[in-house]
Amino acid sequence: MADTSRITPVAAPAPLMGPVTLLRVAIILTVLAVWEFLSHSGWLYRDVVPSLIAIGHAIFDLLAHGEYYFNLAVTAGEVGAALAIGGGLGLVVGIVLGVNRFLAKAFESYLYYLGPTPKIIFFPIMIMWFGVGPGSKIALGTLSCFFPVALSAAAGMRQIDKVLIRVGNSFRATTAQMVFKIYLPAMRHPIINGVRLGLGVALIGTLLAETKLSNKGIGFLIINAYSTFDMPRMYAMLIVLFILSIGANAIVGRLGGLDSIKRS
């Protein structure tokens, strides 16, 4: 009897898939099945819901050709430039507003209210200023991502623990040392968060501008598929684009350790 009580219960073998994974798989499978059913039912306009095989084929086709990568590189270059210019300017403006209370009172409300206005409407002006090439797309992306980065940096600057600043001062740190050893590390999370938001809106601004007027880039490919009514190709491009942008967002978040804050 005593012996049996000492037997440690054998852990039940872990199920191959937890209930969450099972539900996820079930949801995905249901959506795919309903989609395939709709595409064959003829209830919707032809080609609005192309079959999964056609979409899969289009994705494969897309990724197998160099043309897509060229356009992806164009868009990535534009978004990168927009993020560098708009993010850099936003960071500088944000730090200045964060340090100087007077300037913050004078100008921050303008940034706060202009931030969420629709930026794509500035596109005609950007074409006038920077031409129909990549310049106008970069400008629109820059305009889009400046605001979230500036506002996050200003807020981040203000929430730095005063003790850290006092420690820096008591060590007689120079301004450069203060910026690189105290300010920037302490505001890392809000800045990365701002960059993440900025990346999202820069991407949207650049791509929308490309759909309006351009001859290269992912936005151009999407609107081109629309005008030739190549629906499987359009779906393929949207799916790949979504995966890429969600991935980029997750990478930026992880680099800044944002997920570790959420978990703690």
Partner 1 sequence: MSTTATTPARHSTIRNALPALTGLGTLVAFFVVMELLIQTGVLSRFIIPPPSEIFASFPRVIVEEHVLARFVQTLTECLTAGVMLTVFGVAGGVLMHRFKLLQQACETWVAALASAPVVLCYPLFLVIYGRNAWTIIMMGFVSALPPVILKTLEGISGTRKVLVNVGRSFNLTPSQQFWKILFPAALPTIFVGIRLGLIFALINVVGVEFLINFGGLGQLINELAERYDLPGTYAAICFVVLVSVLFFMVLEKAERWLTRAE
| Min dist. Cβ of residue 248 to partner 1 (A) | 9
| Min dist. Cβ of residue 49 to partner 1 (A) | 9
CB atoms under 10 Å from CB of 158, counted, come to 15
* Cβ-Cβ contacts under 8 Å for 253 (sequence gap 6 or more): 192, 196, 259
| Min dist. Cβ of residue 263 to partner 1 (A) | 13
| Min dist. Cβ of residue 234 to partner 1 (A) | 6
Contact set with partner 1 (CB under 8 A):
19-20, 23-24, 27, 45, 48, 102-103, 105-107, 109-110, 113-114, 116-118, 120-125, 128-129, 196, 200, 203-204, 207-208, 211-212, 219, 222-223, 225-226, 229, 231, 234-235, 238, 241-242, 245-246, 249-250
| Radius of gyration of the chain, Cα coordinates, nearest whole angstrom | 25
Tokens of 119: 């930026």
| Min dist. Cβ of residue 257 to partner 1 (A) | 17
Residue 16 or 48 having the CB closest to partner 1 = 48
Please tell me the distance from the alpha carbon of residue 70 to that of residue 58, in angstroms, as a whole number: 17
Residue 188 or 212 having the CB closest to partner 1 = 212
Residue 182 or 221 having the CB closest to partner 1 = 221
User: First vs last Cα of the chain: how many Å apart?
Assistant: 45
Residue 150 or 207 having the CB closest to partner 1 = 207
Residue 123 or 146 having the CB closest to partner 1 = 123
Report the number of secondary-structure helices (H) and strands (E) in the chain.
14, 0
Tallying the residues shown for the chain, one arrives at 264
Residue 151 or 207 having the CB closest to partner 1 = 207
Residue 103 or 178 having the CB closest to partner 1 = 103
Residue 165's Cα: distance from chain center in Å?
32
Q: Is 1 exposed, middle or buried (0-12, 13-18, 19+ CB in 10 A)?
A: exposed
Q: What 3-state DSSP class applies to 157?
A: helix
Contact assessment for residue 83 and residue 195, using Cβ atoms and an 8 Å cutoff: yes
Q: Which of 103, 182, 118 is nearest to 150 (CA)?
A: 103
| Min dist. Cβ of residue 66 to partner 1 (A) | 22
| Min dist. Cβ of residue 112 to partner 1 (A) | 9
